[in-house]
Amino acid sequence: MTLRVLCVFLLSGWLSVSAAALPIPENGPALRIQGSNTIGAELGPALVEGLLQQQGLLKIHRETPDTANEQRIVGQTAQGQRVIIEVAAHGSSTGFTALKNASADLAASSREIKDSELLALQALGDLKSPAAEQVIAIDGLAIILNPANPVEQLNTEQLARIFAGEVKTWEELGGRGGAIHLYARDDQSGTYDTFKELVLSRRGKSLSSAAKRFESSEQLSDAVSADPQGIGFIGLPYVRQAKAVAIADGASQAMLPLNSLIATEDYPLSRRLFFYLPPDSRNPWAQALASFAQSPEGQAIVAASGFVSQTVQAMSVAPNALMPEGYQSLSRHAQRLTVNFRFAEGSASLDNKARQDLARVLDYIKRHGKTERAVTLVGFGDLKDDPARADLLSKLRAMAVRRELVKDGVVIREVRGFGALMPVATNSADEGRIKNRRVEVWVY
């Protein structure tokens, strides 16, 4: 630690434990996290515990104050000084509000920051910059039913009509049981924001006032499990005793919320979980937690907490008749990595997650000795009036990824473009078109 940085910490009321350790505040919490219940219920505290262990703190434990959905993670230095990190989990929007009023150092969010929030927080710096917007995990919104319900799959159009109250009975969906009972997260929840964006708003629908609302993910899931007529939406780790159904979007195949399909974000209701760290923040614990979350140790905690980690793995893909012949051939001879590169809206530039994933893919390629003509990049796009244009754009996206990998010495075997074939989302909405503009990585 330089003298200048040390002076900044001391002036800010921080005391350094040692040259290698993070500084400890003389009074109050070392870090205040507010926002998503999906993150704050378990994943956030588990990541904090991992960071405290990395820092060599002792007697790490959780304390629960009287306020629901809030907890303190506490550790102790060798000298007996308590280190406290506070986590309040009342919904994603509350995290951005807390950043604005300086009652939090880090916002946890289960959705992307809104333009209005970005504008309101511009005094803190650009919260869309790669350093500020940190994707820490991938989650899937599972559509859950009572285990006895015979319905096995639904599409996003049906979901919108169900939760808007337009489809009223299970018999209308080929099931049984009479009236449909709706269960939903509360208005502060990023889970609800994501469902509203991916399902309801896209079709001009609003959630039915008859839906029972919950602040707790666990309570919602248990309520659906106990109700033979119930249906709800929930983050992947909270399926618990309920039954998840397969979901289709537009022309996509129906997909269950499987880890591999969520890791690639192909599953229609997959979503990213974020830490938002103000670029101008002087709290070293905030940056340390964001960095720890991205590390292999942090991503192992993500997986252990029931979410989908961003650790790159190779998976076999079974060929089927719905695939173009060239893709079937690829699936017979190579394996697909559990990452898709996607692009910033209206741009050929990789988005923030893709930039993080580049380092992970490079690490995988080098560790497995695949730098010399063992990697094929496959591009896809959204539907265009001219199929030839869709084919060209899909290949150009793959070439954009190749340029980045070549910089680090990777010799690509082949670049292919499949145009608008094999959509993973509907092309009738911007969100779906963005998901369809993707690049897959295959290794031999």
pLDDT recorded at residue 11 = 36
What is the structure's pLDDT at 251? 80
The residues, any chain, with a CB within 8 Å of residue 421's CB and separated by 6 or more, are 324, 327, 380
Q: Which residues contact 213 (CB under 8 A, 6 or more apart)?
A: 184, 185, 186, 187
User: SS3 helix, strand, coil % of the chain, rounded to 5?
Assistant: 35, 25, 40
Q: Is the pLDDT of residue 281 over 90?
A: no
Residue 381 confidence (pLDDT): 86
Asked if 135 and 355 touch (Cβ cutoff 8 Å), the reply is no
Query: What confidence score (pLDDT) does residue 255 get?
Result: 92
Q: Which two tokens stand for residue 290?
A: 């964001």
| Mean pLDDT, residues 429-438 | 80
pLDDT at residue number 348: 65
Q: Is it the case that residue 12 has pLDDT exceeding 70?
A: no
| Model confidence pLDDT, tens digit, residues 336-384 | 999 999 876 656 678 889 988 999 999 999 999 999 999 999 999 887 7
The reply to whether domains 3-135+273-304 and 139-262 share a CATH topology is yes
Q: How far apart are CA 374 and CA 362, in angstroms?
A: 13
Superfamily of domain 312-443: OmpA-like domain (3.30.1330.60)
Please indicate whether residue 386 or residue 277 has the higher confidence score (pLDDT): 277
Average pLDDT, the chain: 91
φ/ψ (deg, to 5) at 178? 85, -140
Q: Give the pLDDT confidence score for residue 313 in this predicted structure.
A: 95
At the topology level, CATH places domain 3-135+273-304 in D-Maltodextrin-Binding Protein; domain 2 (3.40.190)
Closest CA relative to residue 214, chosen from 237, 179, 182: 182
pLDDT-derived band at 18, boundaries 50, 70, 90: very low
What is residue 344's predicted lDDT score, i.e. its pLDDT? 67
**DSSP annotation string for 237-289:** GG-TTSEE-EEE-TTSPPB---HHHHHTT-STTEEEEEEE--TT---HHHHHH
pLDDT band per the 50, 70, 90 thresholds, residue 53: very high
Q: How confident is the model at residue 237 (pLDDT cuts 50, 70, 90)?
A: confident
Least confident range of 17-21, 276-280, 316-320:
17-21
Return the pLDDT at 347: 61
Question: 300-320 pLDDT, tens per residue?
Answer: 999 999 899 999 999 999 998
Query: CATH 3.40.190.10: does it fit domain 139-262?
Result: yes
Quick one: pLDDT band at residue 16, thresholds 50, 70, 90? very low
Measured CA to CA, the distance from residue 258 to residue 55 in angstroms comes to 34
| pLDDT band for position 65 (cuts 50, 70, 90) | confident
User: What are the sequence ranges of the domains in the chain?
Assistant: 3-135+273-304, 139-262, 312-443
- pLDDT of res. 383: 79
List own/partner pairs for 9-17 with CB under 8 A and 24 or more apart. 9/284, 12/282, 14/284, 17/77, 17/79
Name every residue whose Cβ is closer than 8 Å to that of residue 167 and which is 6 or more positions away in sequence: 158, 161, 173, 180
For the cut 90, the answer to whether the pLDDT of residue 413 exceeds it is yes
- Where does the pLDDT of residue 198 fall: very low under 50, low under 70, confident under 90, or very high at 90 and above? confident
| pTM, rounded to two decimals | 0.81
Query: For the residues 118-145, what does the mean pLDDT come to?
Result: 95
Whether 265 has a pLDDT exceeding 70, the answer reads yes
